[in-house]
Amino acid sequence: MSLIIIGSVAFDAIETPFGKTDKIVGGAATYASLAASYFYKKVKIVGVVGDDFHKKDIDTFTEHGIDTEGLQIKAGEKSFFWSGKYHNDMNSRDTLITELNVLGDFDPIIPESYQDCEYLMLGNLSPQVQQTVIKRLKNKPKLIILDTMNFWMDIALDDLLETIKLIDVLTINDEEARQLSGEYSLVKAAKKILAMGPKYLIIKKGEHGALLFNEDKVFSTPALPLADVFDPTGAGDTFAGGFIGYMAKAGTINFETMKNAIVYGSALASFCVEKFGTEKIVNLTEKEVADRIQEFVNLSAFTLTEA
């Protein structure tokens, strides 16, 4: 029994109004697996890096109990590199550099020891690679969550539509939900997207929180209002990782459990943006996580009282 997380493991160079970083470790699978590791102990990563990825970077995964047997290290090649600059509102950013490097011809390897996978998170990658992973698992996982972005809707829509037929939970942001469905209303968008295959849809709204839809229910969770958002990079991946980490630990797949999973995911994401890169989420204590969850309860819980 394990949780597999596949996605980019990469270097990022980030500039925000609060400062800038040199190349630091990033990537969807990095953020998601670190987040998941706070809730579930059998997280296994699938990805690819070059030999510019240092042993100490791999050690960070190991120290969090994350299995890296499925992380290929390509000798003589370089890791995926992304560089971006956030605008003052932190909601928009310019990509300055994208070097695919090892990710260009990424062929995911699923080690035999990963075949006990019950929970699968397909981080943002080409839909074809995401689909390959599903096909290489001998047993269908209990829950498959897929994260994607507008880029794949633009250049690989047919592949994406084929892939999301095979999954349980799709996570995209509000603009992507509108693009994928052709509907402005998120309610109508959700209805159309759920008809494409996924049983659940999570619409990420950044500072406005997230919405969870299934066929007949909707749940809304706020984002924690923060005085400073230092760096939004990885927040969505951290959210998704926290979500599936909670689901894997809970072991029960239904709407009620997912409500909790979304709150836990949101709590992890709220830490992520408080420092650059993974700096904050590599070093959380159990108490910090529990306190933050309580902040979310205080933020949105109320006891209905007739006046």
**Smallest gap from residue 263 Cβ to its own copies (A):** 6
* Distance in Å, CB of 104 to its own copies, minimum: 37
* Site residues (CB under 8 A) for its own copies, limited to 55-94: 88-89
- For residue 32, the surrounding DSSP H or E stretch is helix 28-37
Instruction: Please identify which residue in the block is written with the tokens 């309580």.
Output: 294
Where are the strands (E) in the chain, listed by range?
A: 2-6, 10-16, 19-20, 24-26, 43-50, 67-74, 80-86, 93-99, 117-122, 143-147, 169-173, 200-204, 210-213, 218-221
Applying CB under 8 A, among 166, 260, 275, 279 the residue interacting with its own copies is 260
What Cα–Cα distance (Å) separates residue 231 from each residue in 14, 104, 193, 241, 261? 8, 26, 30, 18, 23
Pick from 222, 208, 206, 245: nearest CA to 32 = 245
26 residue type, one letter: G
Residues 194-223 within binding reach of its own copies (CB under 8 A): 205, 208-209, 211, 217-222
Buried-state track 184-219, b at ≥16 Cβ within 10 A, e below 16: eebeebbeebbeebbebbbbbbbbebbbbbbeeeeb
CB-nearer residue toward its own copies: 73 or 203 = 203
Q: Which of 100, 109, 161, 250 is in the footprint of its own copies by CB under 8 A?
A: 250
Q: Does 39 bind its own copies (CB under 8 A)?
A: yes
User: Shortest distance, CB of residue 238 to its own copies, whole angstroms?
Assistant: 17
Size of the site for its own copies (CB under 8 A): 47
Q: Is 299 in the site for its own copies (CB under 8 A)?
A: yes
128 part of the interface to its own copies, by CB under 8 A: no
Query: Which of the ranges 72-80, 117-125, 156-164, 242-250 carries the binding residues for its own copies, by CB under 8 A?
Result: 242-250
Residue 64 or 249 having the CB closest to its own copies: 249
Binding footprint of its own copies on the chain (CB under 8 A): 39, 88-89, 184-188, 190, 205, 208-209, 211, 217-222, 225-229, 246-247, 249-251, 256-257, 259-261, 263-264, 293, 297-305, 307
